Structure 1
Amino acid sequence: MAGRTSETRKKIAKKTVAKQAAAQPTLLSGGNPQIPKGYGEAPVQAYIAAMPGWKSDIGRRLDALITHTVPGVSKAVKWNSPFYGMEGEAWFLAIHCYTKYVKVAFFQGASLHPQPPGASKQKEVRCLDIRENDPFDEGLIASWVEQASRLPGERM
C-alpha cells in the first residue's frame, strides 16, 4: 500500500474487515449457523465449516460417516440444518447445533435397533445428542445411519 494516504489505507482495511464479516454466517441461538437453503454438497459443507468450535469437528465426522455409509446420499440445508436422504425419495436424518450439543435426529428412529436414546415430541423421531467430551461410537452411529437410509423417510 505504499504511496497511499493513511485515510485510503483505513478505508481499504474497513472494506476488508467488512468482507470477512460478511463471509461468516450468523450464528443463531445455541450457535446454530444460519445458512441459506440449498441442495447438494456446498451448502452442507458451508454449514459444517460455520459450526462453532468443537461442533465443527463433530459435523465433519458425522458427514464423512454418513457419506461413507450411504454412497450417493442426497444432502441439503433446510431450516438451518443439514438434511440427508435418498435421491428422489425422502430425508432420513438431520443435524442441528445447540448450545451444549449437536443433535442428530433420525426421522424414523423408533424403528432403529437399538433405538437412539433421545425421545422427541414426534412419535417416530429419535435423537442422539453429542456433547463435547462424549465418546463417538462410530460403529453404532453407522448402524443407525444404514438402517435409517433403508426406511421410508420424511418428505419436507
Structure 2
Amino acid sequence: MKGTTAGKSGQAGKRAKPAATKPKLLSGGNPQIAKADGDAPVQAYIDAMPGWKSDAGRHLDQLIARTVPEVRKAVKWNSPFYGIEGRGWFLSFHCFTKYIKVTFFSGSSLDPLPPVESKDKNTRYFHVHEGEPLDEELVASWVRQASELPGWVP
C-alpha cells in the first residue's frame, strides 16, 4: 500500500515517521531546544519560532551579528543568548504568545533605557510585536552598548 509501512509486528497501515520533527513548543509558543553553544542551536530555535516570530527572530539575530561581529551564541533555558567571550551574556530573547521579549541583562546602563522594567534593577526589556517596525538604529545602539558592558555570568 502506498503511504503505509508494515513493521516487524506485522501492523500494516501505520505511516512512517518523518525524518525530522519540529521541536515542541512550550507555553507562549517558545521552542524547546536543548542547551548548546554555537550558531546552529540558535538557528534551530529561530527556525522553530511560530509564525511571524521566526522572521522577527531571524531579523534580530542578523542585526546582533552585524552589530557585534565577535558575538558568541548559545541556547540556554530554551532561549537564544548572545555574549562576548570572557565577559558573559549581554542579551537574550524569548517567545511569548503575543510578542518576543528581548532582554538586556545590563539594560539599566543603556542610553536611552529600553522601555520595559524588570524586577531585577539591572535588567531592561523591549518587546517585539507582530506588524510593528523595528527601530534598527535604536536596537543596534542598545546591542552595541550592551556588548561593551560586563555581561551576565550564570
More helix by share: 1
Q: How does 1:95-110 map to 2 (within 5 A)?
A: 95-110=93-108
Mapped partners of 1:115, 1:41: distance in 2: 28
Q: Shift of the alpha carbon at 1:88?
A: 2.3
Residues paired across the two proteins, number: 147
SS in 2 for 1:11: coil
SS in 2 for 1:10: coil
% identical equivalent positions: 59
Mapped partners of 1:107, 1:16: distance in 2: 41
**What TM-score do the two structures reach when normalised by structure 2?**
0.91
**What TM-score do the two structures reach when normalised by structure 1?**
0.90
Matching of residue 32 in structure 1 with residue 30 in structure 2: yes
Task: Indicate the RMSD between aligned Cα atoms, in angstroms.
Answer: 1.4
Mapped partners of 1:16, 1:127: distance in 2: 40
SS in 2 for 1:114: coil
Q: How does 1:74-85 map to 2 (within 5 A)?
A: 74-85=72-83
Q: Shift of the alpha carbon at 1:121?
A: 1.1
Structure 1 unaligned spans of 5+? 1-5
SS in 2 for 1:134: coil
Matching of residue 41 in structure 1 with residue 42 in structure 2: no
Q: How does 1:85-100 map to 2 (within 5 A)?
A: 85-100=83-98
4+ runs deviating over 4 angstroms = none
Q: What do the CA deviations read for 1:80-102 (whole angstroms, capped 9, x no partner)?
A: 00000001220001010000000
